[in-house]
Amino acid sequence: MGAFRFLNSSTPTAAPRNALVLDFGFWLLFVSFATVGALVASRRPKNAIGWIFCWLGLSFSLGSASEEYALYALVTEVGSLPGAEGMLWLTSWLGGPIVFALFALVFLLFPDGRLPSRRWRPAIWLELVAVVCLVAFAFEPGPLGNLGLVRVSNPFGVRGAAALLDTLGWIGLFVTLAVAVAGGISLVVRFRRARGVERQQIKWFALSGVVFCAVFAAGPFLWALPQVPATAWIWPVLFLAGASTIPVTIGSAILRHRLYDIDLIVNRALVYGSLTATLVLVYAGSVVGLQSAFRGLSGQESTLAVVASTLAIAALFGPLRRRVQALVDRRFYRSKYDAGKTLEEFGARLREETDLDSLRDDVIGVVRETMQPAHVSLWLRPHGADE
Q: What is the pLDDT of residues 9-65, one digit of tens each?
A: 555 554 455 555 566 667 777 888 888 999 999 988 889 999 999 988 888 778 777
- Distance between CA atoms of 209 and 202, rounded to whole angstroms? 11
From 190, 219, 218, select the one nearest 204 (Cα to Cα): 190
CA 237 to chain centre: 13
Cα–Cα dist 146/244, whole Å: 28
What is the rounded average pLDDT for all residues in the chain?
75
> Is residue 381 classed as helix, strand or coil in its secondary structure?
coil
How buried is 123 (Cβ within 10 angstroms: 0-12 exposed, 13-18 middle, 19+ buried)?
buried
> Which residue spans within the chain are E strands per DSSP?
143-147, 150-153
The span from the first CA to the last CA of the chain, in angstroms, equals 78
- Alpha-carbon gap, residue 212 to 218, rounded angstroms: 10
User: 147 - beta bridge partners?
Assistant: 150
Nearest-10 crossing angle of helices 48-71, 97-109: 170
Give Cβ neighbours of residue 181 (< 8 Å, ≥ 6 apart): none
The band of 324, judged by pLDDT with boundaries at 50, 70 and 90, is confident
d(CA 58, CA 41): 14
Cβ atoms 247, 36 nearer than 8 A: yes
pLDDT at 125: 92
Compute the 3-state secondary structure of the chain and give helix, strand, coil in percent, each to the nearest 5. 75, 0, 25
Structure confidence at residue 194 (pLDDT): 80
Query: How many Cα atoms are found within 13 Å in the side-chain-facing hemisphere of 345?
Result: 11
This model's pTM is above 0.85: no
Average pLDDT over residues 68-91: 77
Q: How far apart are CA 25 and CA 215, in angstroms?
A: 14
Residue pLDDT, tens place only, 332-384: 555 554 555 655 666 666 666 556 666 667 677 666 665 556 667 767 666 65
Cis peptide bond upstream of 226, omega within 30: no
Count Cα neighbours of 39 within 13 Å in the Cβ-side half-sphere.
Answer: 17
pLDDT at 205 over 80: yes
Calculate the alpha carbon distances from 296 to 285, 290, 292, 309 in Å: 16, 10, 6, 18
The 8-class DSSP code of residue 261 comes to: G
Q: What pLDDT was estimated at residue 303?
A: 72
